[in-house]
Amino acid sequence: MKTIKGPGLFLAQFAGDVAPFNSFASIVKWAADCGYKGVQVPTWDARLIDLKKAATSKAYCDELLGIARDNGVEITELSTHLQGQLVATHPAYDEVFDGFAVPEVRGNPKARQEWAVEQVKLALTASKNLGLDAMASFSGALAWPFVYPWPQRPAGLVETAFDELAKRWRPILDHAEDCGVDICYEIHPGEDLHDGVTYEMFLERTGNHARANMLYDPSHYVLQCLDYLDNIDIYKDRIRMFHVKDAEFNPTGRQGVYGGYQGWVNRAGRFRSLGDGQVDFGAVFSKMAANDFAGWAVVEWECCLKHPEDGAREGAEFVKHHIIRVTDKAFDDFADGGTDEAANRRLLGI
């Protein structure tokens, strides 16, 4: 068994134009003051990281690592959630997702997709330069508009979508292999990889690629009514990253999983700050420890009610108290009578 590292904090929800959230040095100091030992860095935010420079300059990466270290934290992973989303985008979402890309490729889906692929590859190289072995991302989605179809889907539509998804990601995964970095897809509604079945469909089409792994976030499973504890046991060999995020699902006679187009506060399923939702984190951390998860427990703050700075500070303590320092001995070692093969054979009557 292994002790999980943490607490870590995903910085994406906190970065902004006002200090201390507007520079890498100031935001990592703030995170450390909140009680965090690590930070997960969104690579699309130029206030926190120059991605191209990180991919081409080891000296720059050493500088970032030094800034983090001087402030008492480590860089846990890089994230390419927004760029990964653009690796595969259904035309229905072109306008909505255009803002994720740089201005010069907006309105041009082909150029935008090529830019996104290059971005993810740069982040993999940057991860290598930073000494990291995992990177977070989204898969993007081609089939999502057909997730609950009427009329019925044409035969072969989903298969074609997943064939294309794997085709787009395979060169990126091969680059990940060259860098020695796992791509950890956050299994997430809105992505073609939104549950275990869809992850397996993708994995099969990539030839069970060693670098095509999972980011586990139980909140997304609560909102799908999926067994988030069983999921850990099923995919323990593929879960290489962990977002600690809470959620609650309270269906009524008027509203269920789909939320009735309501805002977050009025949905049956909604994200909550740690400890305010329904996830059994005692069981989650126990399974992670038992299954030898050796990565970071990274808080991803998303809550429709609580202020983010309060959620961040409370989240650090919450994770700290849930991390299990695993034992190196059995509780009944005091009663061990030693090893005696002859005695064992006598006890068995052989």
Q: What is the pLDDT of residues 86-139, one digit of tens each?
A: 999 999 999 999 999 999 999 999 999 999 999 999 999 999 999 999 999 999
Residues in the chain: 350
For 215, the 3-state DSSP assignment is strand
Domain boundary assignment for the chain: 5-347
What mean pLDDT is predicted for residues 286-310?
Answer: 97
The predicted pLDDT at position 289 comes to 96
Q: What is the pLDDT of residues 168-202, one digit of tens each?
A: 999 999 999 999 999 999 999 999 999 999 999 99
pLDDT range class, residue 332, cuts 50, 70, 90: low
What mean pLDDT is predicted for residues 253-258?
Answer: 97
What mean pLDDT is predicted for residues 263-281?
Answer: 97
The tokens for 79 are 């994230």
The predicted pLDDT at position 100 comes to 98
The fold of the 5-347 domain, in CATH, is: TIM Barrel (3.20.20)
For 255, the 3-state DSSP assignment is coil
The predicted pLDDT at position 334 comes to 60
Answering whether pTM is above 0.85, one says yes
pLDDT range class, residue 258, cuts 50, 70, 90: very high
The predicted pLDDT at position 330 comes to 73
- pLDDT tops 80 at residue 260: yes
Largest Cα span, the chain:
80
Indicate the average pLDDT of the chain. Answer: 96
Q: How far apart are CA 201 and CA 205, in angstroms?
A: 7
The predicted pLDDT at position 320 comes to 98
Structure letter (DSSP) for residue 239 = E
The radius of gyration of the chain's CA atoms, rounded to the nearest angstrom, is 22
Whether 249 and 223 have beta carbons less than 8 Å apart is answered as yes
Which of 223-237, 288-302, 326-340 is predicted with the least confidence, judged by mean pLDDT? 326-340
The predicted pLDDT at position 331 comes to 67
Whether 53 and 60 have beta carbons less than 8 Å apart is answered as yes
Q: Which of 256, 245, 310, 312 is nearest to 284 (CA)?
A: 245
- pLDDT tops 90 at residue 269: yes
Residue 71: which residues within 8 A CB-CB, separation 6 or more? 25, 28, 29, 31, 32
- pLDDT tops 90 at residue 340: no
Which of 8-12, 215-219, 327-331 is predicted with the least confidence, judged by mean pLDDT? 327-331
What mean pLDDT is predicted for residues 131-156?
Answer: 96
The predicted pLDDT at position 303 comes to 97
Q: Cα separations (Å) of 35 from 24, 39, 137? A: 17, 11, 25
The tokens for 13 are 């929800």
- pLDDT tops 80 at residue 39: yes
The predicted pLDDT at position 343 comes to 87
